[in-house]
Chain A
Amino acid sequence: DVKVTQSSRYLVKRTGEKVFLECVQDMDHENMFWYRQDPGLGLRLIYFSYDVKMKEKGDIPEGYSVSREKKERFSLILESASTNQTSMYLCASSLAGVNYEQYFGPGTRLTVT
Protein backbone atom coordinates (compact mmCIF):
# COMPACT_ATOMS: atom_id res chain seq x y z
CA ASP A 1 0.00 0.00 0.00
CA VAL A 2 1.24 3.44 -0.91
CA LYS A 3 1.64 5.56 2.11
CA VAL A 4 2.02 9.31 2.36
CA THR A 5 2.46 10.62 5.86
CA GLN A 6 2.44 14.15 7.17
CA SER A 7 4.15 15.19 10.37
CA SER A 8 1.10 16.64 12.12
CA ARG A 9 -2.68 16.44 11.76
CA TYR A 10 -3.23 19.68 13.66
CA LEU A 11 -0.87 22.57 14.25
CA VAL A 12 -1.34 25.92 15.96
CA LYS A 13 1.29 28.59 15.40
CA ARG A 14 1.66 32.27 16.13
CA THR A 15 1.97 35.02 13.54
CA GLY A 16 5.58 35.48 12.50
CA GLU A 17 6.73 31.99 13.45
CA LYS A 18 8.63 29.81 11.01
CA VAL A 19 6.61 26.69 10.31
CA PHE A 20 7.79 23.38 8.86
CA LEU A 21 5.35 20.87 7.40
CA GLU A 22 6.93 17.52 6.60
CA CYS A 23 5.73 14.93 4.13
CA VAL A 24 7.16 11.46 3.57
CA GLN A 25 6.18 8.86 0.96
CA ASP A 26 7.31 5.26 0.91
CA MET A 27 6.73 4.27 -2.73
CA ASP A 28 9.76 5.77 -4.48
CA HIS A 29 7.61 8.30 -6.33
CA GLU A 30 9.40 10.87 -8.43
CA ASN A 31 6.79 13.58 -8.01
CA MET A 32 5.69 15.25 -4.81
CA PHE A 33 3.21 18.10 -4.33
CA TRP A 34 1.93 20.54 -1.74
CA TYR A 35 -1.62 21.87 -1.95
CA ARG A 36 -3.70 24.00 0.32
CA GLN A 37 -7.43 23.47 0.60
CA ASP A 38 -9.87 26.20 1.55
CA PRO A 39 -13.69 26.01 1.54
CA GLY A 40 -15.13 26.97 -1.83
CA LEU A 41 -11.69 27.17 -3.46
CA GLY A 42 -10.86 23.51 -3.91
CA LEU A 43 -7.22 22.42 -3.86
CA ARG A 44 -4.65 24.95 -4.97
CA LEU A 45 -1.09 23.98 -5.79
CA ILE A 46 1.64 25.69 -3.80
CA TYR A 47 4.79 23.90 -5.04
CA PHE A 48 5.76 20.63 -6.58
CA SER A 49 8.95 18.69 -7.11
CA TYR A 50 9.76 16.12 -9.79
CA ASP A 51 13.18 15.15 -8.50
CA VAL A 52 15.48 15.61 -5.55
CA LYS A 53 16.53 19.25 -5.16
CA MET A 54 14.14 20.27 -7.97
CA LYS A 55 11.11 22.44 -7.34
CA GLU A 56 8.51 24.25 -9.37
CA LYS A 57 6.14 26.99 -8.28
CA GLY A 58 2.47 26.27 -8.35
CA ASP A 59 -0.40 28.71 -8.42
CA ILE A 60 0.08 30.25 -4.98
CA PRO A 61 3.77 30.07 -3.93
CA GLU A 62 3.93 33.45 -2.21
CA GLY A 63 4.86 33.16 1.45
CA TYR A 64 6.01 29.55 1.08
CA SER A 65 9.20 27.71 0.24
CA VAL A 66 9.99 24.01 -0.11
CA SER A 67 12.86 21.62 0.32
CA ARG A 68 13.48 18.19 -1.17
CA GLU A 69 16.82 16.82 -0.07
CA LYS A 70 15.78 13.17 -0.28
CA LYS A 71 13.45 11.50 -2.74
CA GLU A 72 10.99 10.39 -0.09
CA ARG A 73 10.68 13.67 1.79
CA PHE A 74 9.18 17.00 0.74
CA SER A 75 8.98 19.85 3.22
CA LEU A 76 6.85 22.97 3.07
CA ILE A 77 8.16 26.00 4.92
CA LEU A 78 6.23 29.06 5.98
CA GLU A 79 9.02 31.56 6.55
CA SER A 80 6.87 33.92 8.63
CA ALA A 81 3.41 32.57 9.26
CA SER A 82 0.47 34.88 8.76
CA THR A 83 -3.21 34.48 9.64
CA ASN A 84 -4.15 34.15 5.96
CA GLN A 85 -2.11 30.96 5.85
CA THR A 86 -4.57 29.27 8.17
CA SER A 87 -5.72 26.35 6.05
CA MET A 88 -5.65 22.61 5.40
CA TYR A 89 -2.37 21.55 3.79
CA LEU A 90 -2.29 18.39 1.73
CA CYS A 91 0.81 16.61 0.50
CA ALA A 92 0.69 14.17 -2.42
CA SER A 93 3.02 12.00 -4.44
CA SER A 94 2.86 10.18 -7.75
CA LEU A 95 4.83 8.35 -10.35
CA ALA A 96 5.72 10.27 -13.50
CA GLY A 97 3.15 9.72 -16.22
CA VAL A 98 -0.12 11.32 -17.24
CA ASN A 99 -2.14 8.28 -16.18
CA TYR A 100 -0.86 7.94 -12.61
CA GLU A 101 -3.01 9.17 -9.77
CA GLN A 102 -1.67 11.24 -6.93
CA TYR A 103 -1.67 9.67 -3.49
CA PHE A 104 -2.50 12.04 -0.69
CA GLY A 105 -1.47 12.29 2.91
CA PRO A 106 -4.05 12.82 5.67
CA GLY A 107 -3.54 16.59 5.70
CA THR A 108 -2.35 19.10 8.28
CA ARG A 109 -4.84 21.62 9.57
CA LEU A 110 -2.76 24.69 10.39
CA THR A 111 -4.13 27.54 12.45
CA VAL A 112 -2.11 30.74 12.69
CA THR A 113 -3.17 33.06 15.51
Chain B
Amino acid sequence: AQKITQTQPGMFVQEKEAVTLDCTYDTSDPSYGLFWYKQPSSGEMIFLIYQGSYDQQNATEGRYSLNFQKARKSANLVISASQLGDSAMYFCAMREGPGNTPLVFGKGTRLSVIA
Protein backbone atom coordinates (compact mmCIF):
# COMPACT_ATOMS: atom_id res chain seq x y z
CA ALA B 1 0.00 0.00 0.00
CA GLN B 2 1.20 3.48 -0.77
CA LYS B 3 2.33 5.38 2.27
CA ILE B 4 2.06 8.79 0.63
CA THR B 5 -0.65 9.63 -1.89
CA GLN B 6 -0.72 12.76 -3.98
CA THR B 7 -3.85 12.59 -6.12
CA GLN B 8 -3.22 15.65 -8.31
CA PRO B 9 -0.66 14.93 -11.04
CA GLY B 10 -0.92 18.52 -12.28
CA MET B 11 -2.51 21.79 -11.22
CA PHE B 12 -2.83 25.30 -12.57
CA VAL B 13 -3.19 28.45 -10.49
CA GLN B 14 -3.45 32.11 -11.37
CA GLU B 15 -0.65 34.35 -10.17
CA LYS B 16 -1.40 35.91 -6.74
CA GLU B 17 -4.03 33.29 -5.96
CA ALA B 18 -3.70 30.68 -3.21
CA VAL B 19 -3.41 26.98 -4.08
CA THR B 20 -3.71 23.77 -2.05
CA LEU B 21 -1.73 20.66 -2.95
CA ASP B 22 -3.18 17.49 -1.47
CA CYS B 23 -1.30 14.80 0.42
CA THR B 24 -2.61 11.86 2.40
CA TYR B 25 -0.45 9.42 4.30
CA ASP B 26 -0.71 6.02 5.87
CA THR B 27 1.10 4.96 9.02
CA SER B 28 0.40 3.16 12.27
CA ASP B 29 3.43 4.68 13.97
CA PRO B 30 2.46 7.40 16.47
CA SER B 31 5.70 9.27 15.83
CA TYR B 32 6.28 10.55 12.32
CA GLY B 33 7.22 13.64 10.41
CA LEU B 34 5.73 15.09 7.25
CA PHE B 35 7.75 17.11 4.76
CA TRP B 36 7.14 19.03 1.57
CA TYR B 37 9.79 19.58 -1.08
CA LYS B 38 9.83 21.69 -4.22
CA GLN B 39 11.68 20.61 -7.35
CA PRO B 40 11.98 23.33 -10.01
CA SER B 41 12.94 22.50 -13.58
CA SER B 42 16.62 22.81 -12.62
CA GLY B 43 16.19 19.58 -10.67
CA GLU B 44 17.33 20.44 -7.18
CA MET B 45 15.15 19.34 -4.26
CA ILE B 46 14.30 22.24 -1.98
CA PHE B 47 12.92 21.59 1.49
CA LEU B 48 9.87 23.77 2.19
CA ILE B 49 8.15 22.83 5.43
CA TYR B 50 7.93 20.22 8.17
CA GLN B 51 5.12 19.02 10.46
CA GLY B 52 5.64 16.63 13.34
CA SER B 53 2.93 14.19 14.37
CA TYR B 54 2.82 15.62 17.88
CA ASP B 55 2.76 19.25 16.80
CA GLN B 56 -0.42 20.97 17.91
CA GLN B 57 -0.19 23.87 15.50
CA ASN B 58 -0.05 23.80 11.73
CA ALA B 59 3.42 24.58 10.42
CA THR B 60 4.00 27.80 8.49
CA GLU B 61 7.05 29.08 6.61
CA GLY B 62 6.50 32.38 4.84
CA ARG B 63 3.96 31.82 2.07
CA TYR B 64 3.83 28.09 2.79
CA SER B 65 1.56 26.52 5.36
CA LEU B 66 0.73 22.93 6.07
CA ASN B 67 -2.90 22.05 6.74
CA PHE B 68 -2.41 19.08 9.07
CA GLN B 69 -5.50 17.00 9.79
CA LYS B 70 -4.27 14.09 11.85
CA ALA B 71 -7.53 12.17 12.09
CA ARG B 72 -7.91 12.28 8.32
CA LYS B 73 -4.21 11.56 7.79
CA SER B 74 -3.83 14.49 5.49
CA ALA B 75 -1.05 17.06 5.21
CA ASN B 76 -1.97 19.48 2.48
CA LEU B 77 0.41 22.24 1.41
CA VAL B 78 -1.09 25.69 0.99
CA ILE B 79 0.82 28.26 -1.04
CA SER B 80 -0.53 31.77 -0.65
CA ALA B 81 -0.15 34.55 -3.22
CA SER B 82 1.32 32.30 -5.92
CA GLN B 83 4.25 33.59 -7.94
CA LEU B 84 5.54 32.52 -11.35
CA GLY B 85 8.59 31.11 -9.60
CA ASP B 86 6.37 28.66 -7.73
CA SER B 87 5.94 26.64 -10.93
CA ALA B 88 7.60 23.31 -10.07
CA MET B 89 7.04 19.74 -8.95
CA TYR B 90 6.00 19.41 -5.33
CA PHE B 91 6.59 16.28 -3.32
CA CYS B 92 5.04 15.25 -0.03
CA ALA B 93 7.13 12.88 2.11
CA MET B 94 6.96 11.11 5.45
CA ARG B 95 9.46 9.69 7.89
CA GLU B 96 8.26 7.23 10.52
CA GLY B 97 9.53 6.34 13.96
CA PRO B 98 13.18 6.62 14.95
CA GLY B 99 15.50 8.82 13.02
CA ASN B 100 17.36 6.18 11.05
CA THR B 101 14.58 5.76 8.55
CA PRO B 102 14.38 7.34 5.12
CA LEU B 103 11.80 9.70 3.76
CA VAL B 104 9.11 8.02 1.69
CA PHE B 105 7.88 10.22 -1.14
CA GLY B 106 4.64 10.61 -3.02
CA LYS B 107 4.60 10.77 -6.80
CA GLY B 108 4.40 14.53 -6.84
CA THR B 109 2.17 17.29 -8.18
CA ARG B 110 3.25 19.56 -10.99
CA LEU B 111 2.12 23.11 -10.28
CA SER B 112 1.95 25.65 -13.07
CA VAL B 113 1.40 29.31 -12.17
CA ILE B 114 -0.23 31.37 -14.91
CA ALA B 115 0.32 35.09 -15.31
- Chain A residues with CB under 8 Å of chain B are 30-31, 33, 35, 40-45, 48, 50, 58, 88, 90, 92, 94-104, 106-107
Contact = CB atoms under 8 A, between A and B. Distances in A.
Nearest to B31: A98
Contacts of B103: 33, 92, 102
Interface string B30-42: 0111010100000
A42 B106 contact: yes
Given A33-B102, A102-B102, 19 more contacts: A33-B103, A42-B91, A42-B107, A42-B108, A45-B102, A58-B102, A90-B45, A94-B99, A96-B100, A98-B32, A98-B52, A98-B96, A98-B97, A99-B52, A101-B35, A102-B103, A104-B37, A104-B44, A107-B43
B93 to A, nearest CB: 8
B98 to A, nearest CB: 7
Most buried by B among A44, A90, A104: A104
Contact of B47 (A58, A97, A101): A101
B68 interface: no
Interface of B: 9, 31-33, 35, 37, 43-45, 47, 50, 52, 91, 95-108
A48 B102 contact: yes
6 closest residue pairs by CB, A with B: A96-B99, A104-B45, A97-B99, A42-B107, A50-B100, A43-B105
A43 B47 contact: no
10 contacts: A40-B9, A42-B105, A42-B108, A44-B105, A95-B99, A96-B98, A98-B96, A99-B33, A102-B35, A102-B102
A8 B28 CA distance: 39
Most buried by B among A45, A50, A99: A99
Contact of A107 (B44, B101, B106): B44
A39 to B, nearest CB: 9
A17 to B, nearest CB: 24
A45 B105 CA distance: 9
A109 B103 CA distance: 21
Given A88-B43, A99-B50, A45 B98 contact: no
